Amino acid sequence: MVWGSMIAWYLFLAGASAGAFLTSAFVEAKYPDSVKMRVAGRIIAPIFLGIGLLMLMLDAEAGLHNPLRFFYLVMNPGSVMTLGVYFICVFMPVSVIAALLEVLRRPVPKWLTWVGIVSAFCVAAYTGFLLGVVKAYPLWNNAILPVLFVVSALSAGLAATSLVGLVTDRERFERMWLIKKSHVILSAIEMVVLVTMLIIVSSGSAEGAASVASLVSGQYAPMFWGGLVLLGLVAPFAIEGYPVFITRKVETSTTSMVVSVIGEGGVLVGGFMLRLLVILAALPVMYL
């Protein structure tokens, strides 16, 4: 396979950064008083994206040797990566300004948040289309992958921001039912989308089936079942779902705190695993 973990990190961090920004916008709208989470979201966004871009540059050796060439990245609008660069050129400054304003305790103007929301969605989606347009790999070349990446980005961003919220502002966080509900829903949606993608890809072509097989039962099965499905989807779904749908009461004990942290962490690990496995397990269409 061409790409490795560096690009997997980049795709995950770009998605999570967009998700974090969207979460903070959501919190600002629904829970104006939850300041800590909002600020956390807006600080996480530029940091994650910054690290992601650094990873991208480290992986592009020729660019690393002569950085001036990165300015050429805007030259081919037909390429999804160039579109991604446009979106990032909007989203990165917006998220940095938003973060600065939050740090200096100045209000973040509405229009800026809306620009951030739109560009965040675009960044999250672009990471999916980046792989989606490549006809050579059936595991990538399907309509569902971008959707899966967006959902995963949202739940990863939410998890990252909630993690901070959980640790710093526990009481209020426990009462933000909408956040906790959306957590569960996002995990559920991600599971459904993932399953449908695997089914469609494996029925699409022989190489698609082989890629899925290598995920489900082959070489990558342990990482797929352990890392992505259990730790990344089922565990968070159960951990978040239990208080929301079953006991319907506010958890305060330290054990539930630890369990929630594990749940949020699981989502993050699952998010990275998803990108890594999609890159590594993809098998090319045979031309012979």
Partner 1 sequence: MTRYGMLINTKKCVGCYACRIACQMVNGLDHEEAFIKFDEVEQGTYPNVYAEVVPVQCMHCEDAPCEAVCPTHATYTTDSGVVLVDEGKCIGCKYCMAACPYGVRVQIEQTGVIEKCRFCWYEGEPGNPPRCVNTCVSGARIFGDLDDPESEICQEIARTNAQPLASDLTAAKIYYVR
Residue 50 C-beta: closest distance to partner 1, Å: 18
Eight-class DSSP state of 108: P
Q: Where are the alpha helices (DSSP H) in the chain?
A: 5-30, 35-59, 61-65, 80-103, 110-132, 144-168, 170-174, 177-204, 206-216, 221-222, 235-241, 254-280
Residues that bind partner 1 (CB under 8 A): 2-3, 56, 59-65, 69-70, 72-73, 75-76, 78-82, 85, 130-131, 133-137, 284-285, 287-288
Inter-residue contact 239 to 274 (CB < 8 Å): no
Closer residue to partner 1 (CB): 141 or 162 = 141
Eight-class DSSP state of 223: I
Residue 61 C-beta: closest distance to partner 1, Å: 3
Closer residue to partner 1 (CB): 97 or 134 = 134
Residue 287 C-beta: closest distance to partner 1, Å: 4
Q: How many CA atoms lie within 13 A of 100 on its CB side?
A: 6
Closer residue to partner 1 (CB): 75 or 221 = 75
Distance set, CA 47 to CA 10, 14, 50, 203, 282 (Å) = 12, 10, 5, 40, 29
Residue 64 C-beta: closest distance to partner 1, Å: 7
- Greatest distance between any 2 Cα atoms in the chain: 62
Closer residue to partner 1 (CB): 47 or 134 = 134
Closer residue to partner 1 (CB): 76 or 168 = 76
Residue 10 C-beta: closest distance to partner 1, Å: 10
